[in-house]
Structures are given as C-alpha cells and as structure tokens.
Structure 1
Amino acid sequence: MDKVKVGVVGSGFIGQVHLEILSSFEDVQILGVMDVDRERARIVAEKFNAKVFDDLGQMRDAGVDVVYITSPNRTHFDYAMSALDLGLNVFCEKPMTISLRDAIELEKKLKEKNLVFQVGHNRRFAYVYKFMKEKILNGSVKPLSFQIKMNRGELLNPPWTSDRNYTGGFLFESTIHLFDMVRWLLGDVEEMYVLGKKSVYPDIDDWAIVMKLKNGLIGTFTSCAHASWMIPFERVEVYGEHNMLMNEEMEKVHFCKGLGKEVESHDFMKVDFKEKWGYVEENRIFIDCVKEKKTPPVTVSDGVAVIRIIDACYKAVEGGNAHVRLEG
C-alpha cells in the first residue's frame, strides 16, 4: 500500500481536526468527505482538494481504504457497521456507540472481519497522561487510590448537547475520556456506588461515583455539566506511598516525589493542541496500523469496556440501585 486513501464522515470541528492532521502525512491521500450538510461538506472538501461523497458505497467505489467517523454520536454505530460490511478500515471517534448493546454487536462484527478498527480516545496519547502512565509503569508511583473530575461548563453550545437522544447522554461526551483514563492508567473497574441527579438540564448533569478496581485500588470520580468552565475542569490525581501525580487538564502535569522532596512539573501550554491533546499521535499510529495490518492501541474491546461503565452508571441512577458490580 503506497498511500492510505481516506474518506471522512462528518465535516464538523473534530472532522476537520483529523483532516488537517491527515493532510500533513505524506503517506495519506484524502479522497473525500460526506456530511448531511452538503454545503459544509463541499467547503471542507474544497479546502483539502477532495470530493464530496453521498454514501459509504461511493467512498469504497472511489478506492477509499479507511473511513473516519466524526459525525454525531448517535450515527457512529450505523456508519461503523456499514463501513465494516463494505470492507473498510475504521477510525471511530468516541463514543464508539451510545448503547452497550450496540457496542457488543460492533465488537462481534469486527471479529468476523480482518480489518483495523480504532476508537478515538485521544487522551491516551496526550502529553500529560503519557507522563503519568510512564511514572506508573516504571514504578516511580505505585497507585493506591485516586480522585478524578471531568466537568463541563454548560450544555448550551452546541444546542443539541443536552439532548440525550442525540448524544447518548452527558457521560458520553467529555466524561467518557476519563472513564477510559481510569482503565488505561489504573485498571478495570469492579464495582461502583453511583449517585446522579438532574440539576439544570433534562439529562442527568451531576454525578458522584465511588469506584473499586479489580486490583484493589479505590477512588472517586465526579462530573458536573454546569460548572461554568472554571479551570482546571479536567483533573486526575493518583496517590502512591507519600507521592502523587496530578494534571491540570492537558496543559500541565505534576509529579510530587515524596515528603519534603521536589515536585517535577511540565507545562505544555504553548504546544499546539493537536499535539498535546494526542490527536497527531493517535492518527499516526492508526495509519501505521492500517498499513501494517496491526491491532491498534485503542481497540473495539476498549470501546465496549468504557461504554459498559457508562451503561452501569445510568442503570444505577435510573434503576434506583446505587451499588453496581461490573460484569465482563
């Protein structure tokens, strides 16, 4: 394979982020874009010297190898299933699906196909979280407990953000990223005590969760949808034996080396967000996996696992049973 030929479904903000990055890769050719807003698709396609497609079949017939799904949450499952049926490799932005049932069905479908499928959990490639992961892996910090928060300022812009039928629910938006960080940094969740309520919006917009992981770690996870964008709205604190790791969104990360010892800090504020948020690396790795027919670092099974956590949270609150154990 000389150049990987790419088609993008969804030409909004995140779709254009991926297009900008992919257009900088010498081994990638952007063939086309499709969007329900055909005029926007035309403008974006023109910018990247690409075509406008009406459906995935047209993309396949034009020679596309890879489909990037960057459309609204509720459309991801159908597009992903169709792309796989057409024999296309898939990069699917988070959330992979907005229901656990669909996530499991997608995982089953992928087992039938010899195709590459990666989920867009970009935090795994962000500078601050890679620093944390390295310190945990090399034993500098042996996690014992944790605190995590992932807030959002509002659900007003874009206006559909508070529509659960459109997004799957608030937890499927930004919060999903840090559920994935729990698993990637610390381990799989075994049980939770989940509280949630509707404070401002029609969706459940305040969450407080106590977690126990399979490896014995305990911690808390909170998420508020109406926090006015006070920073840092995203923070992970990992506590070891008299040492700890902490980030301030994806701008800064700190490593407290012990009682009376120095704190090592790194500031990425001036780094372009596509780099520091991990988008460049996740795209580079995915394209390489397609070329080499390798399993990508964020698999469909990772997508299922994080959606299983979200599904359990909603069932706990809506079913009135706060204590849940995760299966699978």
Structure 2
Amino acid sequence: MRVGVIGTGAMGQNHVRIYSEMDNVELVGIADVDKERVALLASEYNTQGFTDYRELLRMELDAVSIVVPTKLHKQVALDVIESGANLLVEKPIADSTENADAIIEAAKKNDKVLMIGHIERFNPAVARLKEIIDSGILGKIVSISTRRVGPYNPRIRDVGVILDIGVHDIDIISYLYGAQANEVYAVAGANIHPFEDHATIHMRLNHELSGLVEVNWLTPHKIRKLTVVGLEGVAYLDYMDQTVEIHDKDWIRKAKVEKGEPLRRELEHFIHCIENGEEAQPSGSEGKHALEVSLAAIQSYNDEKLIKIE
C-alpha cells in the first residue's frame, strides 16, 4: 500500500511515524510547507519530502492522510481524490457543511474510501465501553457527559475549543448512543483566544437522550473523562488512562481493557478498509454530523438560543 502524508505538524508527524512502522505499507512521501521540517522528517523516516503536496500526489499513491489546517481540508481532499488515492481527513472533516458535502460527494463519485480522523473512536477504553453499553449491563442509557479540559496550546489559532477538541466528545456521544443530535444549546466565551476558549454544550439526541460536553483551554492540568448513566449502573471512562469502571448497587468493577495507541488502531483500520473494499468508520457522513453539531453549538452561544438540527 503506497501511502503519503500531507501536513507534518504535531499530529501529522505521528501519522508519518506509524505508517513507517507498518508492515504492509510503503511511506512513499510526505508534504508540508515548512521546508526544514519536511526535510528533517523525510531523512529520519527514509522517504521523499515535498513542500508542494501536488508533487506528492503525482507519486501514484493508494492512500493519503490529510493533516493540514481545517480551512484547507476541502481543496486538499478534492486534489487527493482527483489523484486517485483514498483519504483519511483529520477531524473535523471541513470548516463548513457545504465543504464537507463536497468532499463526501467527490469520494463517493470516484469510489474512494473516505475516513474521518476522530481518534477517540479507536481509544481501547471507548471500544470496550461501547461493548458494555450494547450488552445491556448498564440498562437503558439516559445521559452521557464528558469533560475535556486543560491548558491552551498556542499553535491552535484557526478554530476555537469547540471545533478543536469539543468535536471529539460530540462524536463519541453520538457513537455510544448510536443516535444523532437533534438539538444543541451551548454557553461559551473567549478570554485568551480569538475564538471561544471554554464551552458547555448540551445535546438532545433522538428527542429524549442527554449529552453534555464540557471543554476549555483554561484548566492548568489535562482531564479527559466521560460518564455514562444507565438505569442499572454507571460507567466512568478515562481517555488518558484507558480505563473503564462500572458502578452498580452491589459492585464497583473495572473492565478489562487491552490498551494500545489509538492512532495506530485508526490507521490500521483505514488501511484494512482500503484493502478489503469496506466503508471506513467514522464515515464522511458521521464526520459531517459531528461538524454540524459543533457549528450549531457555536451558533447557539453566539445567538444565545437553542439550535435545532434537521
């Protein structure tokens, strides 16, 4: 499988590293506008480096990871599809639902695998929690709440905290419920960033289920946790420790979780889907929904009203 990576910032470098370690993958080349960085990485991983990604796309690639700023996703994705390659687009899928639709439609028209890089889907603890929920151990699920907070990363300037990290939990809540949000209400504000740097997002899913997302760039230490409340028990998940603990009226139990690197699992799934002609998860439509909810949350706090999603 001939693979390339476009965008070699903090996240892109991890794509490069993992592809270089995969047995069934040849890392053909990488591209980034930072000439020094791309040269250094190309040398380290024994691959070709380009400052113009279109030169990389001439290398007859089978698959490409797109890890560039969100506003560039549409153009780069369309160019990748036109080159004949399958694509993984880092979250969020695009900067607007119209641009998301353009990517989805182009991939479908050209019969290309399109995967959206919502990495927490591949966190082993999330996978285990999904199994627990689907087994019925917790009974009917009535609410899912998440807390993703920590210090601000200065490299993030093009989007606020909702599109940068809130979108993770928006996607995970929909995934765990197996349902989409139909109403969103958010309270947020900007203190240290041009866009919002803290937000509390309340989602209604399937008209009766509750999802609550708390995010900020103001907390001095990082927290990444999720709570699922069911009629028969409560589950507590820690994204960072990759643990799941179940509390019911009789017991406190720790679920067995086979720990692993989420991004590696994500890229292995991407390559597997290409090799076997399967639809990748999260799909383009799932990525679009997470974007829709995120944009609705931004509109909600700006307009100070509840936003309905069709």
Which residue in the other structure is 2:224 paired with? 234
2:128 corresponds to 1:138? no
Which residue in the other structure is 1:204 paired with? 196
| Offset of residue 265 of structure 1 | 4.9
| Offset of residue 257 of structure 1 | 4.3
Query: Which SS does the other structure have where 1:96 is aligned?
Result: coil
Which residue in the other structure is 2:117 paired with? 120
Asked if the contact 2:124–2:257 (Cα under 8 Å) also holds between the matched residues in 1, the reply is no
| Offset of residue 188 of structure 1 | 1.1
Deviation larger for 244-253 or 181-190: 244-253
Change (3 A) 1:286 1:98: same
Q: 1:178-219 CA distances to partner (integer Å, 9 max, x unpaired)?
A: 111011112211112222222333311221222211162124
**2:227 partner amino acid:** E
2:7 corresponds to 1:16? no
| Distance (Å, rounded) in 2 between the aligned partners of 1:74 and 1:266 | 40
Number of matched pairs: 308
| Distance (Å, rounded) in 2 between the aligned partners of 1:6 and 1:129 | 27
| Distance (Å, rounded) in 1 between the aligned partners of 2:74 and 2:147 | 28
Q: Which residue of 34, 37, 44 corresponds with 1:37?
A: 34
| Distance (Å, rounded) in 1 between the aligned partners of 2:207 and 2:264 | 32
Q: TM-score, normalised by structure 1?
A: 0.88
Query: Which SS does the other structure have where 1:251 is aligned?
Result: coil
| Offset of residue 252 of structure 1 | 4.0
Which residue in the other structure is 2:183 paired with? 191
Query: Which SS does the other structure have where 1:6 is aligned?
Result: strand
Asked if the contact 2:236–2:245 (Cα under 8 Å) also holds between the matched residues in 1, the reply is yes
Which residue in the other structure is 2:308 paired with? 325
Change (3 A) 1:258 1:77: same
Which residue in the other structure is 1:52 paired with? 49
Q: Quick one: percent identity of the two aligned structures?
A: 23
Q: Which residue of 284, 290, 305 corresponds with 2:268?
A: 284
Q: 1:212-236 CA distances to partner (integer Å, 9 max, x unpaired)?
A: 1116212422212211124xx1111
| Offset of residue 262 of structure 1 | 2.9
| Offset of residue 87 of structure 1 | 1.7
Asked if the contact 1:65–1:89 (Cα under 8 Å) also holds between the matched residues in 2, the reply is yes
1:1-328 aligned at under 5 Å gives the runs 4-141=1-138, 142-155=140-153, 157-158=154-155, 161=156, 163=157, 166=158, 168-186=159-177, 187-214=179-206, 216-230=208-222, 233-265=223-255, 275-276=260-261, 278-320=262-304, 322-327=305-310
| Distance (Å, rounded) in 1 between the aligned partners of 2:252 and 2:302 | 46
Query: Which SS does the other structure have where 1:201 is aligned?
Result: coil
| Distance (Å, rounded) in 1 between the aligned partners of 2:48 and 2:71 | 25
- What is the alpha-carbon root mean square deviation over aligned residues? 1.9
Unaligned runs of 5+ in 1: none
Unaligned runs of 5+ in 2: none
**2:181 partner amino acid:** V
| Distance (Å, rounded) in 2 between the aligned partners of 1:221 and 1:288 | 32
Asked if the contact 2:38–2:51 (Cα under 8 Å) also holds between the matched residues in 1, the reply is no
**2:235 partner amino acid:** L
Change (3 A) 1:38 1:97: same
Asked if the contact 1:119–1:300 (Cα under 8 Å) also holds between the matched residues in 2, the reply is yes
| Offset of residue 80 of structure 1 | 0.7
Q: TM-score, normalised by structure 2?
A: 0.93
Q: 1:119-141 CA distances to partner (integer Å, 9 max, x unpaired)?
A: 11111111111111010111112
Query: Which SS does the other structure have where 1:193 is aligned?
Result: strand
Choose between structure 1 and 2: higher strand proportion. Answer: 2
Asked if the contact 1:34–1:41 (Cα under 8 Å) also holds between the matched residues in 2, the reply is yes
**1:83 partner amino acid:** V
The 4+ residue runs of structure 1 with deviation greater than 3 A are: 54-57, 265-268
Asked if the contact 2:166–2:213 (Cα under 8 Å) also holds between the matched residues in 1, the reply is no
Query: Which SS does the other structure have where 1:49 is aligned?
Result: coil
Asked if the contact 1:251–1:267 (Cα under 8 Å) also holds between the matched residues in 2, the reply is no
| Distance (Å, rounded) in 2 between the aligned partners of 1:200 and 1:55 | 33
**1:294 partner amino acid:** E
| Distance (Å, rounded) in 1 between the aligned partners of 2:29 and 2:219 | 38
Q: 1:76-105 CA distances to partner (integer Å, 9 max, x unpaired)?
A: 221111111222111111122122221122
Change (3 A) 1:215 1:281: farther
| Distance (Å, rounded) in 1 between the aligned partners of 2:188 and 2:182 | 19
**1:178 partner amino acid:** D
| Distance (Å, rounded) in 1 between the aligned partners of 2:76 and 2:249 | 52
| Distance (Å, rounded) in 2 between the aligned partners of 1:289 and 1:252 | 25
